Amino acid sequence: MSEEQIVAIREIYWNIDPTIGQLFIYSLVIAATIVATWGILRDIARWRRGKPEARISAIPSRIAEVLVQSFGQKKVLRDRKPGTMHALIFFGFLALFIGTDIIAVEEDFTVPMIGEQAGRILVGGFYQSYELILDTLGLAFVAGLIWAAWRRYRTRPDRLDNRRTDAWVLAVLLFIGIGGFLIEGLRIANQQIAGAVVYEQGWARLSFIGFSFATIFRAIGLGDGNPIALGIHQLLWYTHAAATFAFIGTLPLSKFRHILYTPLNAFFRDLTPKGALDPIPNLEAEIERAEPQLGIATLGDLTWKRRMDLDACMRCGRCQSVCPAHAAGSELSPKYIITKLADLQRGDPILFKDGSVKPINTLDPGEVADATSEQYPLYGNLFSENELWSCTTCNACVHECPAMIEHVDDIVDLRRNLTMIASEVPQGVKRVLEGIERAGNPWRLPTRERSAWADGLDVPTLAEKEEVDVLYWVGCAPSYDERSKRTARAMVQLMQKAGLDFAILGDEETCTGDPARRMGEELLYQAQAEQNIETMKQYRVKRVVTTCAHCFNTIKNEYPQFGGTAGVDYQVIHHTELLAELVAEGKLTPSTRVDEKVVYHDPCYIGRYNDVYDPPRRLLQSIPGIELVEAPERNRERAMCCGGGGGNVWMEGWGKEGMNVIRLEQLTKEQPDTLAMGCPFCMVMFEDAAKNTGRDETLKRRDVAEILLESLG
């Protein structure tokens, strides 16, 4: 029969007894389904032990995000090299899974077709395309796995940890991928259709990997129906099928559970503003209880969604790689915050950051008799003081996490329990909280000095005007910190030059409560928020403009949780946005040259939390003479924190090196003359870093408002 007369077709059970083969496959399907279902139901039962949390809303947008993250690999591909590796494995596995499903459909269902090949799918042109696509993506799958194994066991980046199951899973997947090609090669080398050898058909070459193996097999005598080749084929066929279904069945029991739970976690992601922490519901009523439950003290205090986070974690370590506290050498790793809780939830031996593995029953349970219970105390056993308080709440971990885990919320909730229940907080935290409670500012300075920075500027207060276009919310740092006062004075002069109708609250302004909230003192935060909200409701303003990135985030994203916009129609913007707008409208025109190379540092609370990246850059680029450069790699949404967030601006460093020093090194790689900023906390941190590294005289540190004011002459 000529080659043109041989139709490309796939014989599913070639060289396998169909009855035995079908029985074997169906048994594997049933066993895998039972094991996987048991594992999933077990995990769901663990999640259900968590506290309730509403996460069902905006269903279409949730589904769309799952599709983008799962099939578009959006977050995964942010980290280019490991992201590409993961994409090769993911899309390769997906293609092989779909290909297997097509075989199952052809074998188990009647597909209406016309002609002598009725009921067949894998025939003709479709089969040829099928083979080409599967060989291509199968090769990508194997390449990704080899890359992953090399990276995990050869290059060993710091952010990865190796557990025994990792090697087993990688080995099984490699066997599935490579074994599939060997089976294909043996089939092509030995199968005959209507008396013609498949190997000799032109369409067989479309299975280019299998065909390459077939060429090798025939060269060594394992072709044309060789009994040894047929025996090897059968052995590989059965073991390949067993390995495949073993992998599928044990998905909920292995690291690869994230294949199931990451899309689910993405669906139930937090849709509230990125900069808003969850409030404690019925806080005052909870405090009145005999045994109030505030924050997280035990695993049992987590909500069901936070418990799902633990199983969605793939231990990729991306969160750790961008964590400023980890970079500084502190005990904190966002990855181990999650994995230690995950180990505890599953009852596994707990792997610590230093590489030690400790079974739960070897740790001190304190007053809890059952060390494996849901009430096992976390602080002091799983988590240390250094670990919890070195977090700057910069949100870099959450931004990078492809599983959309909410690390910062867990850390703040752990702090809430330590602050409001256990009263176990560092001395620096106590001083800040006392300052806010007694004096309305973390610096513990008198309220009567709050407006001293404005002496000689003739700045009106809202009490005098009652209605203005712009309320300038000064913030505690520009009010009390000597260096930051210069930023506030520059802002006032700029608004005056632009002819804005503005005012400040003066002595009526008090701390927004942001430091208290990030340090875990939710009750104090809510008291501050309610006081400020009531003050602002007395007046009529169109815009609230803040110099402080933290005040900006709090008023914009968190005050609405407590009626911050009820009955008040105002927009909250950052001062970099206002100034860029005034320049664009021609109300401020930079004319004097500022011949400097300038690098801009993105503050976390206006950048990553609120996506304000372009306005400060447009503003700087509008100033004649400025050459704007970027910190290589670590800029915009991937900018590293200065180290001042989460209350750390008032605390001593927790690591071997200052976060501010590390960040300053990143910012000065392009040898700028000036470091531009848009947050007073960053100013405090970089002033200290410049002095400690000998850059006090060689590197200017200025807020964008100060640079613009200079350019106006």
Average pLDDT over residues 191-216: 88
Upper half-sphere CA count for residue 21 (Cβ side, 13 Å):
16
Instruction: Evaluate whether 535 touches 505 at the Cβ level (below 8 Å).
Output: yes
Distance from the first to the final alpha carbon of the chain:
92
Q: What is the pLDDT of residue 568?
A: 55
pLDDT computed for residue 117 by the predictor: 54
Q: Is 140 found in the same domain as 65?
A: yes
Instruction: Quote the CA–CA distance of 187 and 224 in Å, as a whole number.
Output: 10
Q: CA dist 244 to 32, 115, 169, Å?
A: 10, 34, 11
How far apart (Å, rounded) are the C-alpha atoms in residues 83 and 364?
Answer: 40
The pLDDT, as a whole number, for residue 567 is: 45
Residue 571: enclosing H or E segment and its boundaries? strand 571-574
**What's the CA dihedral at 462, 465, 467, 472 to 10 degrees?**
-40
**Quick one: what percent of the chain has pLDDT higher than 90?**
71
Amino acid identity, residue 29? Answer: V
Strand pairing report for 571-574 and 540-546: parallel
CATH of the domain at 364: 1.10.1060
513 torsion bin: left (phi>0), alpha (psi -120 to 50), beta (else): left
CA 295 – CA 640 distance, rounded (Å): 27
CATH at 102: 1.20.950.20
Maximal CA-CA distance, the chain: 102
Q: If DSSP codes are grouped into helix, strand and coil, which group holds residue 121?
A: coil
- What does the alpha-carbon distance between residue 641 and residue 324 come to, in Å, rounded to a whole number? 6
CA distances from 1 to 4, 8, 193, 195, 204 (A): 8, 14, 10, 8, 16
Bridge pairing between strands 502-503 and 674-677: unpaired
Query: Residue 481: phi, psi to the nearest 5?
Result: -75, 125
Summarize pLDDT for 328-359 with one digit per residue, the tens.
999 999 999 999 999 999 888 888 888 888 87
The answer to the question of residue 116 being in a domain is: yes
Kindly state whether residues 84 and 210 are assigned to the same domain.
yes
Helices of type H across 268-380 = 283-288, 304-312, 318-322, 324-327, 334-346
Report the candidate in 520, 582, 513 with the shortest Cα–Cα distance to residue 554.
Answer: 513
Are 648 and 572 in a shared domain? no
Q: How far is CA 246 from the centre of its chain?
A: 31
pLDDT, tens digit (0-9, with 9 covering 90-100), for 412-429: 999 999 999 998 999 999
Using the predicted structure, report yes or no on whether residue 200 has a pLDDT greater than 90: no
pLDDT for res 366: 57
Q: Which residues contact 179 (CB under 8 A, 6 or more apart)?
A: 236, 239, 240, 243
Coil/strand/helix, residue 90: helix
Asked whether the predicted pLDDT for residue 524 surpasses 80, the reply is yes
Task: Using alpha carbons only, give the angle 600, 495, 469 rounded to the nearest 5 degrees.
Answer: 115
In a domain, 681, yes or no: yes
**Cβ within 8 Å of residue 145, ≥6 positions away:** 89, 170, 173, 174, 177
Beta-ladder partners of 351: 357
How far apart CA 389 and CA 401 sit, in angstroms, is 21
Note down the domain range covering 661: 597-712
Please compute, for residue 223, the number of CA atoms within 13 A of its CA located in the half-sphere on the CB side.
20
CATH number at residue 530: 3.40.50
Q: Do 147 and 44 share a structural domain?
A: yes
* DSSP 8-state assignment for residue 164: H
The pLDDT score that the predictor gives to residue 175 is: 95
In this prediction, residues 502-531 reach a mean pLDDT of 95
What digits encode the pLDDT tens for the residues 591-628? 999 999 999 999 999 999 999 999 999 999 999 999 99
Report d(CA 697, CA 691) in Å as an integer. Answer: 8
Distances from the Cα of 474 to the Cα of 170, 285, 480, angstroms: 56, 33, 10
Q: Which two tokens stand for residue 374?
A: 């849901």
Within 476-519, strands assigned E span: 502-503
Cβ(645)–Cβ(392) below 8 Å = yes
Which of 532, 550, 581 terminates a domain? The answer is 581
Query: What mean pLDDT is predicted for residues 549-577?
Result: 86
What average pLDDT does the segment 240-245 reach?
94
Whether 627 and 485 share a structural domain: no
Domain identity same for 199 and 248: yes
Dist CA 353 CA 343 (whole Å):
13
Helix (H) or strand (E) holding 629, with range, is strand 627-629
Together in a domain, 108 and 204: yes
Q: Which two tokens stand for residue 621?
A: 């680029």
pLDDT of 631:
93
pLDDT digits (tens, 9 = 90+) for 654-704: 889 999 999 999 999 999 999 999 999 999 999 999 999 999 989 999 999
The answer as to whether 592 is a domain residue is: no
- Residue 289, pLDDT above cutoff 90: no
* Burial class of 163 by CB neighbour count within 10 A (0 to 12, 13 to 18, 19+): middle
pLDDT tier at 111 (50, 70, 90 boundaries)?
low
For residue 34, which phi and psi values (nearest 5 degrees)?
-65, -45
For 173-192, the pLDDT digits (tens) are: 999 999 999 999 999 999 88
Helix (H, G, I), strand (E, B) or coil at 458: coil
The tally of CA atoms less than 13 A away on the side-chain side of residue 437 is 12
In Å, what is the CA distance from 264 to each residue of 55, 267, 313? 12, 5, 12
**Is residue 647 one of the residues assigned to a domain?**
yes
Nearest to 75 by CA among 332, 310, 397, 342: 397
Task: Answer yes or no: is 404 within a domain.
Answer: yes
Based on the structure, what is the number of domains in the chain?
4
- Phi then psi for residue 703, to 5 deg, are -75, 155
How many CA atoms does the CB half-sphere of 556 hold within 13 Å?
24
CA distance 336 to 582: 46
Q: Are 680 and 478 in contact (CB under 8 A)?
A: yes
For the cut 90, the answer to whether the pLDDT of residue 374 exceeds it is no
441 inside domain: no
Which of 241, 265, 289 marks a domain boundary?
A: 265
Whether 590 is covered by a domain: the verdict is: no
10 Å Cβ neighbour count for 589? 12
Collapsing DSSP to helix, strand or coil, 627 comes out as: strand
Whether 142 and 97 map to the same domain: the answer is yes
Express each pLDDT in 28-81 by its tens digit. Answer: 999 999 999 999 999 999 999 999 988 888 899 999 999 998 888 888 888 889
* Nearest residue to 32 via CA among 240, 176, 245, 241: 245
Confidence of residue 370 (pLDDT cuts 50, 70, 90): low
Residue 245 and residue 277 share a domain: no
Q: Please check whether residue 4 lies inside any domain of the structure.
A: no
Of the three residues 250, 265, 280, the one that is the final residue of a domain is 265
Beta strand pairing status for 192-193 and 196-197?
Answer: antiparallel
Kindly give, in sequence order, each residue whose CB lies less than 8 Å from that of residue 131, ignoring residues fewer than 6 positions away: 203, 206, 207, 210
- The pair of structure tokens assigned to 462 is 């809202």
With vertex at residue 536, the alpha carbon angle to CA 532 and CA 539, rounded to the nearest 5 degrees, is 160
Is pTM beyond 0.95 here? no
Are 241 and 355 members of one domain?
A: no
State the pLDDT at residue 283: 84
489 and 369 together in one domain: no
Statement to judge: residues 357 and 464 lie in one domain: no
Mean pLDDT of 154-170: 87
Token output for 124: 């003709």
